[in-house]
Amino acid sequence: MIGTIIGAIIGGLIIGALARLVLPGKQDISIVVTIILGILGSLIASWLVYALGYSNGNGGFKWIPFIVGIIVAAILITIYGSVTGRKNRV
């Protein structure tokens, strides 16, 4: 249980950080918000990809859910910035 939570936090940090890297400008959000949005992006992307019929029959690292997770997290970061009024600074 604890390992799963720590894994989700680390995964959320990686997904959130990569999502912030692909967005132009600087995002004024904390590391905690980055982790939370990364975790949400990963969960939403995994659900969406598997709902559309993705199957990792060969095993190994699941690239498609990972990449879609970055895209979803980037969208969530953009929405968060719009809702909170924090704009990207170039």
CA distance 18 to 52: 24
Of 48, 40, 52, 49, the closest CA to residue 76 belongs to 40
Give the pLDDT confidence score for residue 88 in this predicted structure.
Answer: 56
CA distance 16 to 37: 6
CA distance 17 to 20: 5
- What is the model's pTM? 0.81
pLDDT string in tens for the chain (90-residue length): 677 677 777 888 888 889 888 888 777 888 888 889 989 988 888 888 888 988 877 777 778 888 898 999 999 998 998 888 765 555
CA distance 7 to 2: 8
Give the pLDDT confidence score for residue 74 in this predicted structure.
Answer: 92
CA distance 14 to 44: 16
